[in-house]
Structure 1
Amino acid sequence: MNTPHTNHPDDQRSPLGETYRQGPVLLRGQMIPEESTTERLLKTDESIDWLHRDPWRVLRIQAEFVDGFGSLAELGPAVSIFGSARTDPADPVYQAAQYMGAQIARRNVAVITGGGPGIMEAANKGASIEGGKSVGLGIELPHEQGINEWVNLGMTFRYFFVRKTMFVKYSSGVIVCPGGFGTLDETFELLTLVQTHKAATIPIALYDSSYWQGLFDWVNGTLAQRAMISPLDPSLVTITDDADEAVDVALSGLIRQR
């Protein structure tokens, strides 16, 4: 075995044997590779398996970040609207989302959604009809319907975490309409980022109290009583049945930034 030797003069002898460094990575004992990074780079490789290895995926992830930042950097002020892809156009919540998208666009603020059907389509439709910026950040899924027809700036991402970064980075406020696991995931990830100060405080409006109140009764009851959250955490959201109030809450973040 052509084992690389210790390549850092300051390394002390470990009980696990010699130390080998690959950039920021420290390797000892059986984890030391047989070939150096340069040897592997210059080695003839007839297999294309490397295309599907994690280090290569990092470049795809990097490319998605670059494309996202490049496309949205000049978007201007924006509010994200989350909600179910399954909501029917006849549903009052669909109509409310369309109204909220229109109201936001009338104030010269972009509307960002996940780009799909249902609530997302409704919000994009409202913004687009008003002549506003209607953004759809889609995700590559086996049964995804694609970007809805009311989006005038759309992107499709491979990775959820890159897509979520775009939502958080470019939104000054968020409105969350009724939705399933995806909507809950987006909502609680956003709350976690704000709670842990990984993101600036973002005003969040939860629209339709009949949908959300049971969940937050549990949050205010079980979680608070067991000290799993601070007494202030539930105040990170505003639950409302008033579409205009939801818009005002989401836009309040822009007022604070001025």
Structure 2
Amino acid sequence: MTTDDLHPREKQRGPVTLRRERSDEPTTTDQRLLDSRGPSDWVHTDPWRVLRIQAEFVEGFGALAEVPRAVTVFGSARTTREDPEYGIGRKIGAALAGAGFATITGGGPGTMEAVNRGASEAGGLSIGLGIELPFEQGLNPWVDLGVNFRYFFARKTMFIKYSQAFICLPGGFGTLDELFEALTLVQTKKVTKFPVVLFGTEYWGGLHAWLRDSVHAAGKIGDKDLALLHLTDDVDDAVRVVEEAYQAWIDTH
């Protein structure tokens, strides 16, 4: 064993140590930062993305830190203003505002706009957490407090952290994604009891029946897991579930 094997050449790049063939990097961090003559590919490297991700969390936490008790409402971006679901969204937003809850949506058009609109018109706090997508518009005009995200996982953290419940109106993959993520976090005790309301028995009834008759019947979920879901067509009933869950949470804290 040679001296080079025992003490290989090394180079420090901040907290990172580079040895042997990795030590021959032609530039330093400061040089890459200050030298503007090269290509802009550096903004797409993984270390830079980490800082961008960190910034999204900092901005989100900062913007939402003083938000009062809130409920996130999900639904389709494709709902038209003429669709009855749009009217239901407005009623839910207004009812949550009347019960003293801020309303959080994905900030987009369709059902999200309807819920934000209902909350804003009723004098409640209307929040939109947008996401950078190639096919949807920016935040809808009824958002009072808006934050745009590049990364879904940062946005999802804000939905969970600042909500006391979810209400899911008819929606697509995005709504299903958030629905099952919330259920998984409660099941694994990552968050405390977190009620999820499925609004629209005709739309959600098949899914609920499958979870009951197939997933639950096969022993893949338990009675408590299935009980996390509340199926309804009534706005007042949906808000009641939210209020009771919030009061139960208050009583235990």
Seq. identity, %: 52
Q: Which residue of 2 aligns with 1:224?
A: 216
Following superposition, the deviation at residue 89 of structure 1 comes to 2.0
> In structure 1, which of residues 160, 173, 180 is the aligned counterpart of residue 165 of structure 2?
173
1:162 aligned onto 2:154:
yes
Q: Is the 8 A contact 1:173 1:252 kept in 2?
A: no
Q: Which residue of 2 aligns with 1:11?
A: none
CA RMSD of superposed structures (Å): 2.8
Q: Is the 8 A contact 2:96 2:103 kept in 1?
A: yes
Task: Determine helix, strand or coil for the equivalent of 1:238.
Answer: strand
Which residue identity is paired with 2:52? R
Give CA deviations for 1:188-241 in whole Å, capped at 9, x if unaligned.
111111111111111111100111111121111221233222233111110011
> In structure 2, which of residues 236, 241, 248 is the aligned counterpart of residue 256 of structure 1?
248
Whole-Å Cα distance in 2 between the matches of residues 196 and 94 of structure 1? Answer: 34
Residue range with higher mean Cα deviation, 188-197 or 91-100: 91-100
Q: Is the 8 A contact 1:83 1:178 kept in 2?
A: yes
Following superposition, the deviation at residue 90 of structure 1 comes to 2.3
Change over 3 Å in CA distance of 1:5–1:196 after alignment to 2: farther
Paired residues for 1:166-245 under 5 Å = 166-245=158-237
> In structure 1, which of residues 104, 118, 123 is the aligned counterpart of residue 110 of structure 2?
118
Whole-Å Cα distance in 1 between the matches of residues 190 and 155 of structure 2? Answer: 17
Residue range with higher mean Cα deviation, 128-137 or 215-224: 215-224
- Per the normalisation by structure 1, the TM-score is 0.84
Q: Is the 8 A contact 1:84 1:119 kept in 2?
A: yes
Task: Determine helix, strand or coil for the equivalent of 1:81.
Answer: strand
The number of aligned residues is 240
Whole-Å Cα distance in 2 between the matches of residues 6 and 149 of structure 1? Answer: 65
Following superposition, the deviation at residue 50 of structure 1 comes to 2.2
Whole-Å Cα distance in 2 between the matches of residues 135 and 66 of structure 1? Answer: 17
Q: Which residue of 1 aligns with 2:10?
A: none
Paired residues for 1:107-146 under 5 Å = 107-146=99-138
Change over 3 Å in CA distance of 1:58–1:214 after alignment to 2: same
Task: Determine helix, strand or coil for the equivalent of 1:156.
Answer: strand
Q: Is the 8 A contact 1:173 1:251 kept in 2?
A: no
> In structure 2, which of residues 20, 24, 29 is the aligned counterpart of residue 41 of structure 1?
29
Unaligned runs of 5+ in 1: 8-21
Q: Which residue of 2 aligns with 1:51?
A: 43
Q: Is the 8 A contact 2:95 2:235 kept in 1?
A: no
Q: Which residue of 1 aligns with 2:71?
A: 79
Whole-Å Cα distance in 1 between the matches of residues 6 and 190 of structure 2? Answer: 38
Residue range with higher mean Cα deviation, 170-179 or 44-53: 44-53
Whole-Å Cα distance in 1 between the matches of residues 6 and 246 of structure 2? Answer: 54
Q: Is the 8 A contact 1:207 1:239 kept in 2?
A: yes
Q: Is the 8 A contact 1:80 1:173 kept in 2?
A: yes
- Per the normalisation by structure 2, the TM-score is 0.85
Whole-Å Cα distance in 2 between the matches of residues 236 and 24 of structure 1? Answer: 45
Task: Determine helix, strand or coil for the equivalent of 1:221.
Answer: helix
Unaligned runs of 5+ in 2: 8-12
